[in-house]
Structure 1
Amino acid sequence: MAQAPKKANDAGGDADAGKKKKKLLLLIGLAVALVAVSVGGTVVALKVLAPPAAETNAEHAAPAPTLAQAIYFEMTPNFTINFTVNGRQRYLQAAITLMYRDPALESLLSLHMPAIRNGLVMLFSGKSFDELQTPEGKEQLKAEALVVIQTLLKKEQDALVASGETKGVSLANVEQVLFTNFVMQ
């Protein structure tokens, strides 16, 4: 007789285990549903809250303008500047190349090359030999040379525009001054 009650307990235990499994599956299903709702809600919220201009601009945006190919203008002859340092003669020899992108600028550079060279010689000769020996001094010289060239070209372009001779005048400018050779001794 002792075995009959055991079977009843086993049947009751199976029923409890089945209920526990159902609860566990129900909780797992509920968790999956909550995650799905959360992800879906986030996607919908991002679409609703996104500025409409972003969508319109992305669809109808013009392609980014590409830069024209770089053009290099070598200034010849090289610049040679003399310095007196502690009673000794010192020299700077610099080869300069200008970088720009508008082919029409070449004729303006050629036309005004004497004035450009004069401005650069005045700039170089106004520097001290010691400051040009440092990398910072060379970078500063490049920046100042670019300003000298751009200022002169702008002045000449403005004069041509004011005189009404805008035919073939490029309003572009030199982008970089490059030292292709820089020797100090």
Structure 2
Amino acid sequence: MAQSSEVDWEVKGSGISKRTLIILVSIIIVLVVVIAVGVVLFLTGALTPKAAIREAAADSVEVSKVPQYPAIYHSLAPAFVVNFYRQSQRQVRFLQVKMEAMARDSEIIEAIKNHRPAIRNSLLLLLSHQDYETLHTIEGKEQLREAARHEINQVLEDQAGIKGVEAVYFTSFIMQ
């Protein structure tokens, strides 16, 4: 009887047991499934080296945001001098500001030069509507810089159909 149980575990005509055969077939099935998944991923582009390189390049561009061209600065001289009303003490105050616009395209700088009167008008109106207490803070000055950049870009878009001023910098800021 012991011999008959050994015969049941062996495949007829070979010396491989059923247990070994099941393990081998299972390994082959797993390998076929893994290869099939790899082929599908490769064909859809999710596993190609180019896709990985593109994703890495997109991530590095978002992180570093390296400018393509050097910054070009243009002075918005002469200085802007405006008066505005200080609400808390009901008195007139004066503000003198010198500004420079920064862009990376000479076409934008030429547009600033060409539309200088409209830009100066918008900036004078913006400056004259400021609050004295707000401008005393760093946050208030930063908000004013951003508002000035927006005003310049709005004038350029309205007049020339372009915009591209990236920043406005105060080179002098005097409140009295």
Q: Which residue of 2 aligns with 1:82?
A: 83
Equivalence map 1:1-185=2 (5 Å): 51-53=46-48, 55-57=49-51, 58=53, 67-85=68-86, 86-158=89-161, 171-185=162-176
- How far apart in 1 are the matches of 2:169 and 2:119? 15
TM superposition shift of 1:172: 4.7
Structure 1 stretches lacking a partner, 5+ long: 1-47, 159-170
Percentage of pairs with the same residue? 36
Larger radius of gyration: 1
RMSD: 2.8
1:93/1:183 contact within 8 Å kept:
yes
What secondary structure does 2:144 align onto?
helix
Question: Could you say if the C-alpha distance between residues 144 and 66 of structure 1 is closer, same or farther in structure 2, counting changes exceeding 3 Å?
Answer: closer
1:123/1:145 contact within 8 Å kept:
yes
1:102/1:172 contact within 8 Å kept:
no
Question: Could you say if the C-alpha distance between residues 119 and 66 of structure 1 is closer, same or farther in structure 2, counting changes exceeding 3 Å?
Answer: closer
TM superposition shift of 1:66: 5.0
Match for 1:135: what amino acid? Answer: I
Structure 2 stretches lacking a partner, 5+ long: 1-37
- How far apart in 1 are the matches of 2:84 and 2:163? 35
- How far apart in 1 are the matches of 2:74 and 2:135? 23
Question: Could you say if the C-alpha distance between residues 153 and 172 of structure 1 is closer, same or farther in structure 2, counting changes exceeding 3 Å?
Answer: closer
Match for 1:69: what amino acid? Answer: P
- How far apart in 2 are the matches of 1:66 and 1:94? 28
Match for 2:104: what amino acid? Answer: R
User: When the two structures are superposed, what TM-score results if normalisation uses the length of structure 2?
Assistant: 0.62
